[in-house]
Structure 1
Amino acid sequence: MNKTVKKLIPMNVITGFLGSGKTSLLRNLLKLKSMSNTLVLVNEFGEVGLDHEMMERLDKDTVLLQSGCICCTIREDLTSTLSELLDRRFSKEISFSRVILETTGLADPSPIIYSICKGNIIKNNYRLSNVITTVDAINGIIHMNENYESKKQIAVADRIMITKSDINKNNLSEILQNVKELNPSAPIFYNNKKFSFNKVFKEDLFSLDNKSEIVQKWVESEGSKYHKGHIHNTSKHNEQIYTFHLKFDEEINWTTFGIWLTMLLHYHGENILRVKGILNVIGSDYPVAIHGVQHFIHQPMHLKSWPNSNHESRLVFILKKINSSDIVNSLDAFNRLGKVCME
């Protein structure tokens, strides 16, 4: 790396399909001393985002990008945001020596790479240091088989992180085979207790010239690409995938809610790509964060504090081929049943 490039601000991209562990990886990285002067950009799909509130590092160095997918619309927001941050850095309003962008799980990474490498404002001030892709050991095969974005996220990666391998080892050999077919050169790591997170950004690996021919074509085509079939709507990704959210002023009965969510994912998990929530639970002074991906529910996480003054419970769903009204009706039925049982 020459001296001119080395002076540019390193920018790291964390991508990976829905529920593959991007936010968890980012949360662990931000605990490192070497990440103390890092500015974080979080891009979420939908009008209501929760990922940035679950990082437990919410300060002036965390920026929530405009809701939606990073395509031609959000690409403009990424460019303007990075430019604005440069101005604030120059005026000493903020200080940062590295930027990490966590993309939405539905993001096609090609427009991101194009914006950073080809956009004049960005490429003259930032350098794309690494693209890290998380792959879910539980649902990774399904993601790769059913979602083209997942394949592209793996193909462009400089490093690949297999997550949840401690929970499910049954699919590992098949996942590794598929990942290596898509990207034979990227180092593969496992996000487990023995892993040292210092390795993630140890050195710059990104080079468009070293990418496969098809990846280079993806990136180059972004300059004039028309996003066919892609709806620029903060709540819709395409004709099948969309997001919706629920809010509750009343405190949540944890037992009733847990039974409802377990049964919902059991019967409709294939069409619930992700559900995340921050809950105000009866008997708890602090919020409980929940996260489900298709048929799998992660262990609830008790946050140390509320991220802001808003203490209402919030759920954000990303759905495929299922009516949101069916979810609302089932939750209403369970809540009525819970109230009857408590009387």
Structure 2
Amino acid sequence: MLDPNSFTPVPVTILTGFLGAGKTTLLNRILSEQHGHRIAVIENEFGEAGIDNDLLIQGEEQIVEMNNGCICCTVRGDLVRILGELAEKRENGSLIFERVIIETTGLADPAPVAQTFFVEQDIGEYYLLDGVITVVDAKHALKQLSECHEAEEQVGFADRLLLSKTDLITPEEVIELETRLRLINARAPIAHAHFGETDISEILDIRGFNLNAILEIEPDFLGDVSHAHDAGITSFVYRTEQAFDAARIIGFMDVMVRDYGNDLLRYKGIVHIAGCDRKVIYQGVHMLLGDSIGELWAANEVRQSVLVLIGRNLPKQEIYTALDSCRVI
């Protein structure tokens, strides 16, 4: 058992927010900031394959990806194991870090994740839950809060609320959203984060997690917290090592957003375009689709396209067939 008089627990930040809110953008902002901290990152995705690890800035930070389920469900045992392994490596000197950031999947209820630090004795002694930061997609939040209980849970458990995409709505709509958020969580300060730009001091070392306040929200927080996803939400992955034709894949994306945008909660991918030496990154939420040019394909790297789609009642086979037709044969 650790001596509390001679050991300072490692602070942990839980970074949450609904699908496509901008968590990875914010995390990249934190990792690229010249703040002098060494950070271990645990990153989780919903579905059979994850690509966020490829979208994160790779520096000296330790990044551990968990992509075999929701971090608040079957893989919480993995979270305990990974935190234990990180602690062991830190103690034997094979890994140096001062804090941990856990980026949850956009469908995670943060309660069981936070619960880990209070019901697992070894974890609770070595780590200190510093705060829960929730990124809120200002463009889609009101709809998400009405339709998905996970979005409400993420807001309710937040110690800080960061609004992204406020440039896509009117000032009046921002006020309406902030009013709704305060009805759910009156204690969490609200700030804006344009493309992840925010004051690091408002995110790290805030000592914001208040167990008594959480117990008021969820009295059985320290008990057996069950969690179930919307049965209609599914995730699937499309992979191919054949290059896409640029015009065809652009046309597919436009049609997909037009026909299925309302049911597409989140879609993202790293794509190999014929004749392009750089990765092309697609990311979208509902009807909003963005693309950007990523890093160069490495000389020995397999040029594989991976597209992840999360949504309600999506026609998987139709989408697969349409994507197949976009390939250069």
TM-score, normalisation: structure 2: 0.91
Separation in structure 1 between the aligned mates of residue 220 and residue 100 of structure 2, nearest angstrom = 24
1:214 shift after superposition: 2.0
Secondary structure in structure 2 of the residue aligned to 1:18: coil
Task: State the AA in 2 paired with 1:211.
Answer: I
Correspondent of 1:331 among 319, 323, 326:
323
Task: State the AA in 2 paired with 1:288.
Answer: V
Secondary structure in structure 1 of the residue aligned to 2:106: coil
Which residue in 1 is equivalent to 2:141? Answer: 140
Task: State the AA in 1 paired with 2:247.
Answer: T
Which residue in 2 is equivalent to 1:184? Answer: 186
1:7 shift after superposition: 0.9
Secondary structure in structure 1 of the residue aligned to 2:267: strand
Secondary structure in structure 2 of the residue aligned to 1:304: strand
Separation in structure 2 between the aligned mates of residue 218 and residue 324 of structure 1, nearest angstrom = 38
1:258 shift after superposition: 1.4
Separation in structure 2 between the aligned mates of residue 46 and residue 59 of structure 1, nearest angstrom = 27
1:66/1:48 Cα in 2 relative to 1: closer, same or farther (>3 Å)? closer
Secondary structure in structure 2 of the residue aligned to 1:33: coil
Which residue in 2 is equivalent to 1:122? Answer: 123
Separation in structure 1 between the aligned mates of residue 12 and residue 61 of structure 2, nearest angstrom = 18
Pick which of 110-119 and 155-164 moved more.
Answer: 110-119
Which residue in 1 is equivalent to 2:95? Answer: 94
Secondary structure in structure 1 of the residue aligned to 2:35: helix
Separation in structure 2 between the aligned mates of residue 310 and residue 64 of structure 1, nearest angstrom = 20
Q: CA RMSD in A?
A: 2.3
Tell whether 2:282 aligns with 1:290.
yes
Separation in structure 2 between the aligned mates of residue 83 and residue 207 of structure 1, nearest angstrom = 24
Separation in structure 2 between the aligned mates of residue 137 and residue 34 of structure 1, nearest angstrom = 28
Q: Which runs of 5+ in 2 are unaligned?
A: none
Runs of 4 or more above 4 Å deviation: 3-6
Query: 8 Å contact 1:117–1:128 — kept in the other structure?
Result: no
Question: Quick one: percent identity of the two aligned structures?
Answer: 31
Which residue in 2 is equivalent to 1:224? Answer: 224
Tell whether 2:246 aligns with 1:254.
yes
Separation in structure 1 between the aligned mates of residue 277 and residue 143 of structure 2, nearest angstrom = 38
1:249 shift after superposition: 1.3
1:156 shift after superposition: 0.4
TM-score, normalisation: structure 1: 0.87
Query: 8 Å contact 2:41–2:61 — kept in the other structure?
Result: no
Which residue in 1 is equivalent to 2:309? Answer: 317
Tell whether 2:273 aligns with 1:281.
yes
Query: 8 Å contact 2:11–2:205 — kept in the other structure?
Result: no
Which residue in 1 is equivalent to 2:19? Answer: 18
Separation in structure 1 between the aligned mates of residue 205 and residue 129 of structure 2, nearest angstrom = 14
Which residue in 2 is equivalent to 1:105? Answer: 106
Separation in structure 1 between the aligned mates of residue 151 and residue 59 of structure 2, nearest angstrom = 28
Correspondent of 2:292 among 292, 298, 301:
301
Secondary structure in structure 2 of the residue aligned to 1:166: helix
Separation in structure 2 between the aligned mates of residue 48 and residue 257 of structure 1, nearest angstrom = 21
1:282 shift after superposition: 2.2
